[in-house]
Structure 1
Amino acid sequence: MSIGTCCFPGTNREAETFKEQGNAYYAKKDYNEAYNYYTKAIDMCPKNASYYGNRAATLMMLGRFREALGDAQQSVRLDDSFVRGHLREGKCHLSLGNAMAACRSFQRALELDHKNAQAQQEFKNANAVMEYEKIAETDFEKRDFRKVVFCMDRALEFAPACHRFKILKAECLAMLGRYPEAQSVASDILRMDSTNADALYVRGLCLYYEDCIEKAVQFFVQALRMAPDHEKACIACRNAKALKAKKEDGNKAFKEGNYKLA
């Protein structure tokens, strides 16, 4: 018996029916229903690589790349010669911003089918993302924040689900004084992941530069609660608290009539 088939012919036929129903919904772009039917097929026949591949494709269309990655990886574990499985695995890695892992998946697809045009193109895309990352890292150290934003925008065209790239872009937007844009990016991430310490830090950074010190401190403290070793949040929190204390001392001196000290 092949690893991609089921134990019982009746079960196999029923699973195929579910798969075909999933295909029909996928063709109609009803990805939620397609997902349900592919799941039924997998439940009936958990050793069939193509069923996992189909569900991975559906999850990708729904923007659920982490789950899709799990299914794509399972499909190639069951059948290492499954080219589309390797392509989907690579595409998920790339969408999530892991360009090096994506390259490995696309390379494997090319080993199996060296003329595969999609694998060739995606391999180029993954290498381009790695190059944008490298340039952005150098430019961030040079404090060329505009260039970093440009590089992250290009990288996000291939890696739309990468929180790391979005956070770096948001931080640089804050450094450039483009606070509403930076806040918007950070808020989008927090809607998906309310515990993201980097996004909380960026929210705090924007508020700090907009002179909303008390609110900024709240976000820095929250970031540190999620990630106690977050160095940037730690420094920013310390600076914000010092500034807050200085302002309070100044206000107190002013109220007491000590204008020189204020």
Structure 2
Amino acid sequence: MAAGDCDVMMAPEPSGAGEADLEREAELFKEQGNVFYAKKDYNEAFNYYTKAIDICPKNASYYGNRAATLMMIAETSQIQEQAQYVTMPMGHLREGKCHLSLGNAMAAGRCFQKVLELETNNPQALTELKNAEAVLEYERITEVGFDKGDFRKVVYYMDRALEFAPACHRFKILKAECLALLGRYPDAQSVASDILRMDSTNADALYVRGLCLYYEDCIEKAVQFFVQALRMAPDHEKARLACRNAKALRAKKEEGNRAFKEGSFDEAFELYSEALKIDPNNIKTNAKLYCNRGTVGSKLHKMQQAIEDCTNAIKLDDTYIKAYMRRAQCYMDTEQYEEAVRDYEKIYQTEKTKEHKQLLKNAQLELKKSKRKDYYKILGVDKSASEDEIKKAYRKRALMHHPDRHSSASPEVQKEEEKKFKEVGEAFSILSDPKKKARYDSGQDLDDDGMNSGDFDANNIFKAFFGSPGGFSFEASGPGNFFFQFG
């Protein structure tokens, strides 16, 4: 077949073959064509792409691949044959369609204009010229969109352009790069890999493969692709910048990890902070760096800083279980139990392990306990306080809040002090009883088994410590000061 004969020949569909079987057969022919194209055997590649088209004539990518071989054939062994009809309208039209398929819209437009000079109202040339102009407009829009960081717009218009230029590697690479920048790494890798199967030396495709690995935190492999891209194209600025960032990020992260393992937490904190400044676009790596810095923050007892870092990690990657775990523990350590329960619920919903279930139950128990009166806090003692310490604390607080001591105060103050006096008695009645204390410490309801926390008389408890009401009195020892006097 001559180089210019790239019009579509619709072959009848073989009878007795299912659609899925036909598609598989066509794909096999395409893959064989790719092998020959990579070997620069363009005539054989052309033949296999044609076989694929004959089976599946509606697959645009097959036409794009065949158009690419036509251009290579035209540049090598078929130049003389191409020259025989290049002055004819059909020759210009075919050449223009090949240019357009490869994304050379300006060259394609010139070919279609030549057709119209020969045949003013040629309908095919008029249609193809509009297509070429549309591709040029899509290129203009995507250039502006890329500069503004509107990568979704670039992907949208590159898809439109590829409808007319299915063999254009440049359009595919730009789309793949934007897909990577949008975090759609599998889609981006698929496009780049498809190009590399046909041309393993394509520096742009190597760069995009590296970029996907880099953003997926596979930095070691990413550097290898960037280095390979630079071997193919030493002046590839994007690959050079990405390679430099990848190496710097890897080095800082490793230094931070080393400092952490050595217990140099202040140094580790600074190193992770420096790493976070290298490339704000590397979402997954930065999420890990924030989580690492959060771990360091907790070691340095900077709990709020640790919580903020874990929150930043989750904002970057809301599936990052390790960040949820670290933040939940920080919430537990700072007695923010509602927040801890929320995080542990998220963790357990994602990974239903026994460990996560137990962590959630512990947080729920602490939350339940936090909503009750804190009897230890009311008495001003630690949770590990002994029986004698609890008694001493009660004596001190009971005297401090006894209503008689505040008899000359305003009604509001008297009411508040009476309330505190009763709470002190209530706290002592629970913490001085081993069974009630055990139930209280375990988070169980004190109303169960007849252990009602309100079943006490604050005055009776006070009498047990200080004798009958007539046996003591509070007297002023100065402005606002009182002392306790026994009778």
Decide: shared fold, TM above 0.5.
yes
TM range (shorter): 0.7 to 0.9
- Give the equivalent residue in structure 2 for 1:67: 69
Q: 1:253 aligns with which of 242, 249, 259?
A: 259
Aligned ranges for residues 113-124 of structure 1 at < 5 Å?
113-124=119-130
Per-residue deviation, 1:163: 0.4
Identity over aligned residues, as a percent?
Answer: 69
Aligned residues: 217
Match of 1:107 among 109, 113, 128: 113
TM-fit CA distance, 1:118: 0.7
RMSD (Å) for aligned C-alpha atoms? 2.8
CA deviations over 1:153-172 (Å, ceiling 9, x no partner): 00000000000000000111
1:150 partner letter = Y
Q: 1:98–1:29: structure 2 CA closer, same or farther, 3 Å change rule?
A: farther
- In the other structure, the counterpart of 1:239 is 245
Partner of residue 212 from structure 1, selected from 218, 222, 244: 218
Could you tell me whether the CA contact under 8 Å between 1:95 and 1:159 is conserved in 2?
yes
Separation in 1 of the partners of 2:244 and 2:195?
25
Change (3 A) 1:186 1:131: same
TM-score (norm 1): 0.75
Cα distance change, pair 189–29 in 1 and its aligned pair in 2 (3 A): farther
- Unmatched segments (≥5 aa) in structure 1: 1-17, 33-54
Q: Which moved more, 1:65-74 or 1:148-157?
A: 65-74
Structure 1 stretch 154-163 or stretch 248-257: which is displaced more? Answer: 248-257
In the aligned structure 1, how far is the partner of 2:107 from the partner of 2:89? 16
Task: Provide the C-alpha distance between the structure 2 equivalents of 1:62 and 1:261, rounded to a whole number of angstroms.
Answer: 55
Change (3 A) 1:61 1:162: closer
Deviation at 1:212, TM superposition (A): 1.1
Unmatched segments (≥5 aa) in structure 2: 14-28, 30-46, 54-61, 269-487
Is 1:175 the equivalent of 2:181? yes
Q: Which amino acid aligns with 1:252?
A: R
TM-score of the two chains, using structure 2 as the length reference? 0.41
Query: What is the correspondence of 1:55-204 to structure 2 with a 5 Å cutoff?
Result: 61=63, 63-69=65-71, 70-71=73-74, 74-75=80-81, 77-204=83-210
TM superposition shift of 1:63:
2.7
How far off is 1:225 after superposition?
0.9
Once the two structures are overlaid, the 10-residue window that deviates more, 139-148 or 70-79, is 70-79
Distance 1:240 1:256 in 2: 24
Q: Deviations over 1:22-55 (max 9, x none)?
A: 9xxx66479x9xxxxxxxxxxxxxxxxxxxxxx9
Q: Which has the higher contact order (CA 8 A, sep 6+)?
A: 1
Question: Per the alignment, do residues 76 and 87 of structure 1 end up closer, same or farther by CA in structure 2, a change over 3 Å counting?
Answer: same
Paired amino acid for 2:173: I
Q: Distance in 2 between matches of 1:75 and 1:254?
A: 70
Aligned mates of 1:249, 1:144 — CA distance in 2: 35
Instruction: Determine the C-alpha separation between the residues in 2 that align with 1:190 and 1:236.
Output: 19
